[in-house]
Amino acid sequence: RLMLAKDSGISSVVGISMLVSVVAGKPLLTSALKPFVTKGDARRTAAWERLSAEPGRFVRAERMFTAVWGLALVTECVVRIVGAYTLPVDTMVWLGNVVMAGAVLLAIRFGGRLAVGPMERMVEEELASGRVQVERVA
């Protein structure tokens, strides 16, 4: 049972680290999220930089994304540990993977809905406003 419970050790450390980073104001997933929102476009990257420089909805959404993933991983850890000590071992062998996959799918879904989608819209609005300036390197 301990061998089944230990599988969630890494995800719990990563999840707790994510939650601590949100509280500290330095969300761990910012660097992973940025390429998805900016899509490698210089104007979108400039809009990202402008929006993330000021406290507001954008920064809250950025923190929300990391918080969703942190909560998903910590919850997955708790569910797997409880399952390891309450369910039959042969059930938890396969159910542990299902729990992990479910946690990841839920984090993708809620992270997209609560953070990525709104952030993409804010970047588009920033581009439409005309306030974004891209510096050209000669």
How do the domains of the chain map onto residue ranges?
Answer: 2-129
Ramachandran assignment for 40, one of left (phi > 0), alpha (psi -120 to 50 degrees), beta (any other): left
The pLDDT of residue 137 is above 60: no
Q: Tell me if the pTM is above 0.95.
A: no
pLDDT the model gives residue 41 = 87
The percentage of residues in the chain with a pLDDT greater than 70, rounded to a whole number, is: 95
How wide is the angle at C-alpha 93 spanned by C-alphas 89 and 96, nearest 5°? Answer: 115
CA distances 90 to 1, 31, 78, 86, 103, Å, are 10, 39, 19, 12, 21
The pLDDT of residue 128 is above 90: no
